């Protein structure tokens, strides 16, 4: 089953197939969202760590290698690879949004120079790449990313990273609200569980973005 048929929600069960996707290198950017070291660190609680192991496996065996592959492919196409990471300016984290101050998983205190807050070594940005710091879920809220994309003449954004049901989804929705065409590469993304990952892809597909896989997105380029 190809991308035009996969991940259809109830709303789009009987909808016509979407048009073919054609991407021009000079109008397309790749946004890597929150693939930071902190998310791959083992949990202190052995039981909790065991529950997270499928996520760790997906990241190390599939997502990170696939994003690395895509970055290389796009670099050869002269497509901009842009990185977004969660990081606060103040050591106290007072500048974080409310969603990152609430107790639980989303409580994130990652001052900008904290080692665990950096992009994973396998995907270390090139010195020429743009790296955005954000204190919100969406990579557009509170940053100048929208302006940067517009200034560069970008119309299409390929999204990869984590977590599918949180920061990836929030960013996708913000991008489409700003009238960018969005493609999400499903095997370059992950949520805490495969169930959450698949569920969110079904929610955002066709209304906010088109969900495709790594091999498919490579065929969309016309130059």
**Residue-wise pLDDT tens digits, 172-197:** 999 999 999 999 999 999 999 999 99
**Residue-wise pLDDT tens digits, 45-68:** 999 999 999 999 999 999 999 999
Residue 86 domain flag: yes
Contact 28, 157 (CB under 8 A): yes
CATH classification at residue 109? 3.40.50.850
Q: Domain of residue 209: give its range.
A: 10-218
**Helix, coil or strand: residue 75:** helix
| Angle separating helix axes 194-204 and 169-177, nearest 10 degrees | 10
Residue 120 domain flag: yes
User: What's the pTM?
Assistant: 0.96
Contact 112, 118 (CB under 8 A): no
Residue 100 domain flag: yes
Residue 26 domain flag: yes
Residue 1 domain flag: no
Q: Long-range CB contacts (< 8 A, 24+ apart) of 143-147? A: 143/84, 145/82, 145/84, 146/178
Contact 157, 185 (CB under 8 A): no
Residue 5 domain flag: no
Question: What's the rounded mean pLDDT across residues 17-25?
Answer: 97
How far is residue 194's CA from residue 208's CA, in Å, rounded to a whole number?
A: 20
Q: Is the pLDDT of residue 106 over 80?
A: no
Residue 202 domain flag: yes
Residue 76 domain flag: yes
Q: Is the pLDDT of residue 201 over 90?
A: yes
* Tokens coding 133: 């710091």
Please give the tally of structural domains in the chain.
Answer: 1
* Tokens coding 157: 């954004």
């Amino acid at each position: 089953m190809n991308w035009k048929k996969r991940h259809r929600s109830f709303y789009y069960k009987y909808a016509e197939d979407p048009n073919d996707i054609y991407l021009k290198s000079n109008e397309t950017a790749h946004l890597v969202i929150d693939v930071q070291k902190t998310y791959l660190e083992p949990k202190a609680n052995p039981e909790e760590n065991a529950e997270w192991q499928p996520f760790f496996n997906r990241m190390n065996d599939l997502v990170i290698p696939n994003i690395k592959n895509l970055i290389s492919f796009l670099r050869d196409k002269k497509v901009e690879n842009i990185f977004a990471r969660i990081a606060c300016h103040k050591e106290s984290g007072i500048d974080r949004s409310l969603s990152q101050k609430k107790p639980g998983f989303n409580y994130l205190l990652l001052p900008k120079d904290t080692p665990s807050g950096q992009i994973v070594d396998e995907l270390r940005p090139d010195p020429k790449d743009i790296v955005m710091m954000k204190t919100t879920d969406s990579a557009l809220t509170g940053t100048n990313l929208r302006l940067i994309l517009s200034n560069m003449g970008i119309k299409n954004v390929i999204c990869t990273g984590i977590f599918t049901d949180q920061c990836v989804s929030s960013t996708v929705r913000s991008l489409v609200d700003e009238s960018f065409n969005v493609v999400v590469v499903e095997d370059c993304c992950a949520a805490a569980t495969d169930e959450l990952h698949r569920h969110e892809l079904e929610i955002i597909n066709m209304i906010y973005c088109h969900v495709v896989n790594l091999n498919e997105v490579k065929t969309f380029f016309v130059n």
